[in-house]
């Protein structure tokens, strides 16, 4: 297994940014179950974490080898992976600039069929936002215990933010609005691109996770819009004990093994 960790300058962010990359190789530490063309998974971390989160707390390196995925894990800081009105453009960084670098430097696939995006919590919101804004770029979207409505998050979990100033820095004057919800983003994407063009969306959340009601509600909204999507829940909380299992299940679904 090849693992790379480094820093590279981003024009979208105007700062040097940390990125971790896993590239499956021919070693025998894990047996590859799918041995064909490698796929690329952009995997986004949650609020309060960084690009190291998934390599520290999950078996993502093993799953990358077993299912023949290259996994790219960028820093997102506390951005919700949005283009800040007067600050760094994280959506542009993750959806455009970083993939072009990965393709050019490592000759990894960049076509829709072999490219996927996933994340947990804030990273799940980022994966959904980016995938809905760029439906031609991804073959599937995975959101694990995602934030689906920043307004609800700001109201019900206000302790997660540094007040309205941080919310406004990310979402604009006044903080998040209904237009920032995943349901609203999905409606706009369907109106612009058609439901059939939206990548398949996979959502998973622990039954004991306080985000579960919001995720389930958003699933219903996606279904009403005609977007192909699935929702799974089983006993678990908002932590990596749940997400480690969920990411493998999701990868198997992306590979059409489940």
pLDDT tens, residue by residue, 81-94 = 999 998 999 999 99
Structure confidence at residue 35 (pLDDT): 59
Q: For residue 253, is pLDDT > 70?
A: yes
Structure confidence at residue 165 (pLDDT): 82
Structure confidence at residue 198 (pLDDT): 98
Q: For residue 30, is pLDDT > 80?
A: no
- Range with the poorest average pLDDT among 11-25, 87-101, 159-173, 196-210: 159-173
How is residue 247 written in tokens?
């990411």
Q: For residue 258, is pLDDT > 90?
A: no
Hey, how many other C-beta atoms are within 10 angstroms of the C-beta on 160?
15
Structure confidence at residue 156 (pLDDT): 87
Structure confidence at residue 7 as a pLDDT band (50, 70, 90): very high
Q: For residue 257, is pLDDT > 90?
A: no
Angstrom distances, CA of residue 118 to CA of 157, 159, 187: 23, 25, 20
Structure confidence at residue 217 (pLDDT): 97
By DSSP bridging, strand 15-23 and strand 39-44 are: unpaired
Structure confidence at residue 36 (pLDDT): 67
Report the C-alpha gap between 79 and 166 in whole angstroms: 10
Structure confidence at residue 242 as a pLDDT band (50, 70, 90): very high
Structure confidence at residue 117 as a pLDDT band (50, 70, 90): very high
Q: For residue 163, is pLDDT > 90?
A: no
Contact 248, 64 (CB under 8 A): no
SS (H, E, C) 27-91: CCCCCCCCCCCCEEEEEECCCCCCCCHHHHHCCHHHHHHHCCEEEEEECCCCCCCCECCCCCEHH
Estimate to the nearest angstrom the gap between the alpha carbon of 235 and the chain centroid: 22
Structure confidence at residue 57 (pLDDT): 98
Q: What is the 8-class DSSP label of residue 199? A: P
Structure confidence at residue 159 (pLDDT): 87
Structure confidence at residue 14 (pLDDT): 95
| Mean pLDDT of all residues in 233-238 | 98
> Could you give all domains of the chain from N- to C-terminal order, each with its CATH number?
2-254 (3.40.50.1820)
Mean pLDDT of the chain, nearest integer: 94
- Give the number of residues written for the chain: 258
pLDDT digit string (tens) for 34-70? 656 899 999 999 999 999 999 999 999 999 999 999 9
Percent of the chain exceeding pLDDT 70 equals 95
Q: For residue 26, is pLDDT > 90?
A: no
Q: For residue 247, is pLDDT > 90?
A: yes
Higher-confidence residue: 154 or 102? Answer: 102
| Mean pLDDT of all residues in 131-152 | 97
């Amino acid at each position: 297994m090849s693992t790379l960790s480094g820093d590279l300058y981003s024009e979208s962010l105007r700062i040097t940014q940390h990125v971790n990359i896993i590239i499956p190789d021919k070693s025998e530490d894990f047996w590859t179950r799918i041995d064909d063309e490698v796929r690329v998974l952009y995997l986004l971390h949650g609020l309060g974490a960084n690009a190291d989160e998934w390599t520290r707390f999950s078996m993502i390196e093993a799953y990358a080898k077993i299912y023949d995925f290259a996994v790219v894990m960028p820093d997102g800081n506390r951005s919700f992976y949005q283009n800040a009105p007067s600050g760094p453009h994280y959506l542009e960084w993750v959806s455009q600039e970083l993939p072009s670098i990965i393709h050019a430097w490592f000759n990894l696939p960049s076509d829709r069929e072999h490219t996927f995006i996933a994340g947990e919590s804030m990273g799940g919101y980022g994966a959904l936002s980016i995938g809905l804004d760029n439906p031609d770029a991804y073959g599937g979207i995975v959101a694990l215990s995602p934030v689906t409505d920043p307004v609800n998050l700001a109201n019900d979990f206000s302790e997660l933010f540094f007040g309205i100033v941080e919310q406004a820095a990310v979402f604009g004057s006044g903080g998040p609005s209904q237009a920032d919800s995943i349901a609203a983003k999905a409606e706009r994407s369907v109106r612009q691109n058609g439901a059939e063009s939206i990548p398949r969306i996979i959502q998973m959340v622990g039954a004991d996770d306080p985000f579960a009601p919001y995720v389930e509600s958003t699933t219903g909204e996606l279904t009403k819009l005609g977007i192909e999507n699935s929702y799974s829940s089983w006993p678990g909380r908002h932590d990596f004990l749940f997400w480690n299992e969920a990411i493998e299940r999701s990868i198997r679904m992306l590979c059409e093994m489940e």
